[in-house]
Amino acid sequence: MNSRATSFLQGASVLLAACAAPAPATPSTPASFESVEPWGNVTVTTDPAATPQASFPCPPQPIALPQVALPPGLPRAPAASESTPAPQATSSPTLAEPGLTSTTPPATAARRHGNLLIPATPRARTHPTRGYVPTDTEGTFLASDERVWVGLPVPAYVPAGLEDLELSRLLETPDETLALYRNYYGHGAVPGCATVHRSDNCTYRARLYRKDGTLTSEIDFNGLMHQPEHLRVDHITLADGVLYYPQSCQSYAREAKRRCSDIVALDVKSTPTRVLWRSAFLMSNAEIVRVGEYLVTGYGFTAETDYLHALDARTGKLMARVVLPSAPEELRVNGAVLEVFVYGSDVPVRFAMKGFDEKPTPSKRPAFMRLR
């Protein structure tokens, strides 16, 4: 085995060893609560004594050996600052998986940018969609490895990549399409945004299009980050002209000195795009769901207390907080009931949402009530 593969296997063994260690049990009541009121309303203070014991992130997807050469029959696109869009289709799109909808015809031919392949007909997922790092591709997060698109059909006006960035996620509203791009982790002689021994931030950019293909906004997430390491961007939500996303911790919060996983609200209708507010740290490393005048999300990680949060969508102020049995991975809103799928379980934790149909006021807060 050559030295490059040996080096990668040594790094992978460290990762897998860290992930194999069992996480401590989640405490039933967080030490950082000053008070817990009925319905889950709380007053929260930071607990500086909380110190997770592990020191390495678990890989969100299976680790594979580096692939130096492409498989036969998959030509690599020529180097360019941006992939050439393919002609627009005239037929209805084939959906990547049940439940996904798209109102925009996809490109008619397969496209490639870097190590990302976007088939003409999107492939079905072979792995669950829930996970620590959401993505519309399947493959590892190593720069040298192949990735295949399994998300919504990609419209012809959306590039498969931008310079050294690959398309990672695609969101659609009735009027707009949001494309998120990123680069991936290097190792050995393969360049990338970081290595298994470093925690530099990867590069993240987004483009917002009208459904006629007009580019209306381009967002440089790195220019908005408060520090050059320990942060990542992947959970993104677009609602009423505002883009909400957490600057999630790459790994354990203590490695970033607990200065991560704050939510940023961007007004993408303004020129240039402007920040409306930033929340407190450790508010979210999960998806964000808009419910009335509130944002519902959560935060959790191995050896850390896991939470469900409700924030004022206008200000980012924390309005309600309850402890979860494990880290939140998926949120489903069914009327006034919230289902939270947590790590390690296929059975959701269910809550009644009280007061979410009213506007936030200093004297009235929403609340989560656990359902049995």
Distance CA 300, CA 280 (A): 15
Distance CA 268, CA 275 (A): 9
Instruction: State the Cα angle at 87 between 85 and 91, rounded to 5°.
Output: 130
Confidence (pLDDT) at 58: 46
How buried is residue 359: exposed, middle or buried, by Cβ count under 10 Å (0-12/13-18/19+)?
Answer: exposed
pLDDT reading at 118 higher than 70: yes
SS3 for the chain, per residue? CCHHHHHHHHHHHHHHHHHHCCCCCCCCCCCCEEEECHHHCEEECCCCCCCCCCCCCCCCCCCCCCCCCCCCCCCCCCCCCECCCCCECCCCCCCCCCCCCCCCCEECCCEEECCEEECCCCCCCCCCCCCCCCCCEECCCECCCCEEECCCCCECCCCCEECCEEEEEEEECCCEEEEEEECCECECCECCCCCCCCCECCCEEEEEEECCCCEEEEEECHHHCCCCECEECCCCEEECCEEEEEEEECCCHHHHCCCCCEEEEEECCCCCCEEEEECCCCCCCCCCEEECCEEEEEECCCCCCEEEEEEECCCCCEEEEEEECCCEEEEEEECCEEEEEECCCCCCEEEEEECCCCCCECCECCEEEECC
Confidence (pLDDT) at 67: 41
Sequence-distant (6+) residues with CB within 8 A of 24 are 53, 303
User: How many residues belong to the chain?
Assistant: 372
Rounded to two decimals, the pTM is 0.71
Confidence (pLDDT) at 263: 98
* pLDDT per position as a tens digit, 233-283: 999 999 999 999 999 999 999 999 999 999 999 999 998 899 999 999 999
- pLDDT confidence tier of residue 103, bands split at 50, 70 and 90: low
Q: Are 102 and 91 in contact (CB under 8 A)?
A: no
pLDDT reading at 29 higher than 60: no
Distance CA 6, CA 211 (A): 48
* pLDDT per position as a tens digit, 36-79: 233 333 333 334 344 333 333 444 444 343 443 433 433 334 44
Confidence (pLDDT) at 204: 96
Share of the chain above pLDDT 90, in %: 58
Q: Are 235 and 286 in contact (CB under 8 A)?
A: yes
Confidence (pLDDT) at 335: 94
Query: For the residues 84-88, what does the mean pLDDT come to?
Result: 44
Distances (CA, A) of 298 to 11, 232, 262, 285: 30, 16, 11, 7
- pLDDT confidence tier of residue 362, bands split at 50, 70 and 90: confident
Q: Are 196 and 15 in contact (CB under 8 A)?
A: yes
Looking at domain 33-48+100-370, which of 2.40.128.630, 3.40.50.800, 2.50.20.10, 3.30.420.40 is its CATH number? 2.40.128.630
